[in-house]
Chains A and B, each alone.
Chain A
Amino acid sequence: MIHLRGIYKRFVIGDEIVRALDGVDLTINEGEYVSVMGPSGSGKSTLLNMIGLLDSADAGTYQLDGIETTTQSEENRARLRREKIGFVFQAYHLIPRLTARENIELPMVLAGMPPAQRREQSNGMLKRLNLWERADHLPKQLSGGQRQRVAIGRAIVMKPSIILADEPTGNLDSRSGREVMELLEELNAGGITLLMVTHDTVLGARATRQVVFGDGRVVKDASKHA
């Protein structure tokens, strides 16, 4: 379902050319649990942005659920993000002036879903994430773990086929981090493809497939139960 072929991405920083992605071939199947590891600057975050259609490649092809994304208009790419991809960020990226519920409802708002239907979905999500009592709280009134749970709720409320998580536990204490990981893995067990970028090898080892990046290339691709 995720099919990358010969993906190149270069950045110019000062007078130096950084090869963030240097000919990446990668296929990720539906329902897989993949961790992407590697030192900083190895291109793993760029890969995640590429898969999440937040960034575009200089060269190569990327098919998502059979759709060639590199030739799509920005409008269609936005639509694909809306329908197929859920993002979980290290810094949560919640909108500070919106309540937990409103943050969760945001993707549905952008998709133009009627308010009653949104309410129903967010109700279910708040209950499921143990955030029911916190529905009308602003992000600043929530703990780190609760914030990340809101962010996960926002990522999955549109029932995407892929969750892209960039250091999802990076800002959390170990207990909250473990809870968040359990939640993500539970979602994966339910069938969602989970792609997680981390520099934490212990965390990375939990994934069934581990991809290690170095200098913009895949240097290791190992599966646990293959």
Chain B
Amino acid sequence: MTQPDIDTPYLADRIKDALATDERTHMLDIKIDVSTSSVCLSGSVSSEERRNAAEQVVRELVSYSFRLVNTLRVESYQEPSDTEALD
């Protein structure tokens, strides 16, 4: 478990690394924006469970002085309605 962190210029990198390596997430494609007072997660995930797991991992890493904004979308995909001809 990663120890809670204080504000640091490397915070976005540390969050990125935690989301990639934490066994609850293993997410490599979450976009992270850090300001002086907030951390925003954006992108898409495939389930509400994964959305919550990402938030939990980040919450454990950052100080509660940061507002955590979770804008991750839960995506579901449909079958295609057309076909691309390649030649």
Report if A and B associate in a common complex: no
Residues of B that sit less than 8 Å from A by CB: none
Residues of A that sit less than 8 Å from B by CB: none
